[in-house]
Every structure is written in C-alpha cells, then in structure tokens.
Amino acid sequence: MKNYSALLLLLVSTLIFSQNTLKLDSLKTPIKANIEEVSWISGHWEGTAFGGVTEEVWTSPLGGSMMGSFKLVVNNEVNFHELMTISEEDETLLLRIKHFSRDLKGWEEKDESEEFKLVKIEPNRVYFNNLTFEKISPSELNIYVVFKDESGNEEEVKFNYKSKIKNKHMKLAMISIPVNDVPKAFKFYTEILNFDEQLYMPEHYLAIVYKKDEVNGPAILLEPIDDEIYAPFQSKVYAKKLPVITFGTDNINEEYNRLLNLGVKFIKKPTQQDWGIEAIFDDTCGNFIQLIQKK
C-alpha cells in the first residue's frame, strides 16, 4: 500500500479543494475538550469519492469515546476499510485510524495506528491535525483530510456525506411560543437558556432558535403576539401561572442554580413529584416555563 497516498491524489484531481484544515502547533497547550462536544458526528453517513461510494458510521459517545467505521465501495466491491476512535485522553480528544484491505489485513503494524491530535473545536467544527469534521446540518456532514504524496506535496480533500437515516414518519419540526418582545426573547433564549440561532431578523420580528446538539430536534419560533388573538390568551395563561412549554434536564438542581445566578426568576423551586422533579420560571416575555427532571 506504499502508493496509496499518490493514488488518492490522482483520484481526487476532480474534487474541490479548500483550506478547511489546521496543523497542530506542538508548542501550544493541548485544547481541553470532552467527547460530548463532538457527539454530532454520530450517525450513518454516505457519500461519493474516488469513483465509488463511501460509507461512514459513528456511534454515540459512551465511556468517553466514539467508534467509527469507513469503507470505500467501487463497482460494487469493497476497496478498503477503516476503523476509527475518538477518545478522551489527558483532558483533550484524540482521533485514531487503522486501515484494512477488503480481507481485513491491516495496513499498519499490529500495534500502530494513525493519530490525529485535537487542534481546535467549535460548535459545528472539530479540527484534528490535518483532518476536520464539519456539521452542515443534522443530515449533512463534511470531512476534510490532508493527503501527502511521496514528494511531500499536500492536498486537502473534501468528503461530503448525507445521513442514511431517514424518518418516514411525521415528526415535530417546529413549535411556537408567543412572546411580547421578540428581541428580548431572542436574547433570553440564546444567552440564558443556551439555545442556538437558526434564523433572526429583528426588523421583521422573526426569531427561530433550536439546539444544535439535538439531531433532528424541533425548532422554536418566538412568535410576536397579536393584540386580538395571542395577547388575551397569553395574559390569562400567565395570570394563572401556567407554563406554556416544558424543557427537560438531567440535573435540575444544577440548572436551577445556573439560571438563578443569571437572574432568572423562579415561581417554583425544584419540587419532588411522583414522576420526577419540576421547577417553573419566568421567560421575561410573558410566559412561564416548566423545567423537569424525570426519574
């Protein structure tokens, strides 16, 4: 497999190259990160490259690591495989890759693998040395890899993947919460509740937020109230101290203290119920929100 790198460069001559990778600076302190920050990589992904079909599968985080597999199929025949792990080590992340022929004969020595140290991490990108994962959407993923030929020349290759997991059933895509001040609500839901911006056009009183780490999760439209429709309904619901929506958490006491320190007003502290624990707080825009932790 000595000519593997040269072969790859020849095959990718028709692909689009761009600078989306970073090199490790060995003099810098390693970036601190945990495996949950890259959980969005998990999934069953498929694309095309090298004259064939590429398939990559990543498990969800468990035990401080994720495991992945890759294969290239050309003319309905497996060309080669890869086994990969991303693991927490020394408070940072390390990507390891081992290559195998179609008969599972290893390319590297028995105890050897290619290692890619973490360089930088962003909400939708994770940069390992010369290899980058990029989340385009819950159903699309890019991977950028730098290949080097025998002369030392480097080229960056983009692999585009689409999710193979298709939901054929109806699902919740978006919900709306009536708010009496869209800019104020957008600030509260993004800066205090840690939702992410999907669309924000304050000049049109339009704000949509979502959670990037919830694959295919619903978005929330922060909908301006209409004086004739929403305003009377909202005021009556608010007067009765009824929550308009429920958010869940794995640690309600921790989240309660975090929000309390940020100035959020609770009308109900974490209270034990038969089904779990609940608390209720004010979103500052005319609504009460229920926060729960199930048993």
pLDDT tens-digit profile, the chain (295 residues): 444 444 444 444 333 345 799 999 877 888 999 999 999 999 999 999 989 999 999 999 999 999 999 999 999 999 999 999 999 999 999 999 999 999 999 999 988 999 999 999 998 999 999 999 999 998 899 999 999 888 888 999 999 999 987 666 778 889 999 999 999 999 999 999 999 999 999 998 899 999 987 767 899 999 998 777 778 888 899 999 999 999 999 999 999 999 999 999 999 999 999 999 999 999 999 999 999 999 8
The last residue of a domain, from among 163, 187, 204: 163
Does 38 fall in a domain?
yes
Contact 182, 205 (CB under 8 A): yes
Does 275 fall in a domain?
yes
The pLDDT, as a whole number, for residue 5 is 43
The pLDDT, as a whole number, for residue 7 is 41
Same domain as 9, residue 152: yes
Same domain as 138, residue 63: yes
Same domain as 19, residue 152: yes
Query: Could you tell me which residues come within 8 angstroms of residue 8 by beta carbon, excluding any fewer than 6 positions away?
Result: 50, 147, 157
255: which DSSP letter? Answer: H
How buried is 47 (Cβ within 10 angstroms: 0-12 exposed, 13-18 middle, 19+ buried)? middle
Does 195 fall in a domain?
yes
Does 235 fall in a domain?
yes
pLDDT digits (tens, 9 = 90+) for 86-131: 999 999 999 999 999 999 999 999 889 999 999 999 989 999 999 9
Q: Which residue segment(s) compose the domain that 108 sits in?
A: 4-163
Same domain as 117, residue 15: yes
Does 169 fall in a domain?
no
Same domain as 137, residue 191: no
Same domain as 189, residue 274: yes
Same domain as 145, residue 193: no
Same domain as 232, residue 116: no
Secondary-structure breakdown of the chain: helix, strand, coil percentages, each rounded to the nearest 5: 20, 45, 35
Same domain as 230, residue 157: no
Which residues make beta-bridge pairs with 281? 266, 289
Does 205 fall in a domain?
yes
Does 34 fall in a domain?
yes
The last residue of a domain, from among 139, 163, 187: 163
Q: Angle at the Cα of 182 (from 236 to 284), degrees rounded to 5?
A: 55
**pTM over cut 0.75:** no
Same domain as 98, residue 132: yes
* CA dist., res. 71 & res. 116, Å (int): 19
The last residue of a domain, from among 163, 187, 214: 163
Phi, psi of 290 (to 5 degrees): -90, 130
Same domain as 198, residue 138: no
What is the domain-level CATH number for residue 42? 2.40.128
Query: Could you tell me which residues come within 8 angstroms of residue 177 by beta carbon, excluding any fewer than 6 positions away?
Result: 185, 220, 221, 222, 223, 244, 245, 283, 287
* CA dist., res. 197 & res. 54, Å (int): 32
For residue 61, count other CB atoms closer than 10 A to its CB.
19
* CA-to-CA separations, 217 to 21, 117, 171, 172, 212, in angstroms, rounded: 29, 31, 9, 8, 8
What is the domain-level CATH number for residue 246? 3.10.180.10
For residue 73, count other CB atoms closer than 10 A to its CB.
16
Does 168 fall in a domain?
no
- What residue type is 97 in one-letter code? I
Same domain as 150, residue 23: yes
The pLDDT, as a whole number, for residue 215 is 63
For residue 248, count other CB atoms closer than 10 A to its CB.
12
What 3-state class would DSSP assign to 211? coil
Place of tokens 């599968």: 57
- Report the number of distinct structural domains present in the chain: 2
**CA dihedral sign, ordered 248, 249, 252, 256:** negative
The pLDDT, as a whole number, for residue 193 is 96
